[in-house]
Amino acid sequence: MPGFELFGEEEKKEIMDVLDTGVLFRYEFNDQRKGIYKVREFEEKFAQYCDASHAQAVTSGTAALKVALTALGVGPGDEVITQGFTFVATWEAILEVGAVPVFTEVDATLNMDPVDLQKKITAKTRCIIPVHMLGAQARIETIVDIAAQHGIPVLEDTAQAAGGRIKGKHLGSFGTCGTFSFDSVKTITTGEGGMIITDDAELWRAMSEYHDHGHDHKVNPGTRGGEGRNFIGFNYRMMELQGAIGIAQLAKLDNIVAAQQKNKAILKEAAAGIPGVAFRELIDEKGDSATFLTFTLQDRQHCQRVNESLRKDGHGAINFAENTWHFYPKWEHLLGGKTLTKSGYPFAEPGGKRRIVYDPLALPQSSALLERTLVYPVGIKMPAEKLEAQCRALKNATKV
């Protein structure tokens, strides 16, 4: 990863189609654009790729989460359950709509633990957001079944797992809706950008209108329709240049995943010789997007020794127990209730009373797992000499 490794003539061609029209805005200017609607085409092709009925393009994966949550009716007074190992955007979006994030443990998949999920559901739970973290599948079928028993919608955060599947079914298509990110380090990229897929036509229309200031899209879906307003909205529109790049990148996605799977298998074989090593549990190895190689060691001390060896050879791995962007105990701004608002919102009510307090020790199972876990990003184009050097580093780590 990511898709920018494969930028080429295909992206240039799609971009030039847009520049030749002079129209960067996704809507209107019908006479000038010569029938070219790149964002709409990207949406249609992405929905078709994922076997979904509808797709809504937006400005980022974070915006996709907020637009989806808003369309689902989530707001103040509600709780949204997600996992404690995810990028901060997942819970930022929950706070942005006024709801309260509730965090579950992760299990051997490094994704939401369905057992802990059952314990966290309350009368206030309005949505569940499992994350297909680091490109691999959550136990999404089990999670969807649990949610259905309680009548709660599931929003799949598929930001890091485009192209991933379970038994041929695309990640993001199991729940009520699924969100994707196309930022600069994602499997396919438009620089910035995101997408939401769903089979629910009413939900899609709400997302379509909300992301465009509430413009009524009923008369002519995909344009701005009759200029009525059903509700207020905001601006999360993707522009035509992003849509153009997305079309070209999407056409390469299956080849990207295949290349990552090949390179990951080579690295995994090298890491398999480390004493006590175990690999992340995959729900469906054939459907793994293979954007990361993830392996666990015997304990925290063993993990540190192995990573020190890898660093000495110039190929240190990521330990997410030390990372400040992806793991609950390291989110000092969440735990400390830090915000720019003078009232203290969303962590405090007007007047200063705290409405949310988080305990850094609340997820011991996740902490015990992640402190002994190492992660390597897997490239699409990995020069033979680099791959060989990384394998040598892993083999040298067998001696520590």
Measure the CA–CA gap between 220 and 205, rounded to whole angstroms. 11
* CA angle, residues 65, 211, 195, in degrees to nearest 5: 45
Read off the tokens for 207: 């997302």
203 and 314 belong to one structural domain: no
Measure the CA–CA gap between 304 and 292, rounded to whole angstroms. 19
Angle between helices 89-96 and 61-71 (to 10 degrees): 40
pLDDT along the chain (400 residues), means of 10: 84 97 92 93 98 98 98 97 98 97 98 98 98 98 98 98 98 98 96 98 95 81 67 97 98 96 97 96 97 97 97 96 94 96 92 90 97 96 93 93
Domain of residue 38, residue span? 3-253
Q: Are 198 and 176 in contact (CB under 8 A)?
A: yes
> What CATH number does residue 298 fall under?
3.90.1150.10
User: Considering the entire predicted model, what is its pTM?
Assistant: 0.96
354 and 247 belong to one structural domain: no
268 and 242 belong to one structural domain: no
Measure the CA–CA gap between 174 and 357, rounded to whole angstroms. 32
> What CATH number does residue 151 fall under?
3.40.640.10
209 and 351 belong to one structural domain: no
Read off the tokens for 65: 């989460």
Q: Are 46 and 172 in contact (CB under 8 A)?
A: no
112 and 54 belong to one structural domain: yes
Catalytic positions are 186
201 and 337 belong to one structural domain: no
Q: Are 98 and 76 in contact (CB under 8 A)?
A: yes
**How much is the pLDDT for 28?**
87
Angle between helices 38-49 and 240-250 (to 10 degrees): 30
246 and 291 belong to one structural domain: no
227 and 79 belong to one structural domain: yes
Which of 40, 77, 70 is CA-nearest to residue 247?
40
**How much is the pLDDT for 265?**
97
In this structure, the dihedral spanned by the alpha carbons of residues 95, 319, 182 and 257, taken in order and rounded to 10 degrees, is: -140
Q: How many domains does the chain have?
A: 2
Measure the CA–CA gap between 28 and 224, rounded to whole angstroms. 7
Helix (H) or strand (E) holding 271: helix 253-271
Could you count the other beta carbons within 10 Å of the beta carbon of residue 385? 8
Measure the CA–CA gap between 141 and 134, rounded to whole angstroms. 18
239 and 340 belong to one structural domain: no
Measure the CA–CA gap between 186 and 188, rounded to whole angstroms. 5
- How far, in whole angstroms, is CA 358 from its chain's centroid? 23
Which residues, 6 or more positions from 139, have their beta carbon under 8 angstroms from its beta carbon?
A: 107, 109, 111, 112, 114, 130, 283
User: Final residue of a domain: which of 253, 284, 316?
Assistant: 253
User: Final residue of a domain: which of 253, 279, 311?
Assistant: 253
Which of 281, 289, 256 is CA-nearest to residue 160?
289
Could you count the other beta carbons within 10 Å of the beta carbon of residue 34? 11
Which of 1, 2, 3 is CA-nearest to residue 247?
3
229 and 274 belong to one structural domain: no
**How much is the pLDDT for 167?**
97
Residue entry with tokens 């007007």:
350
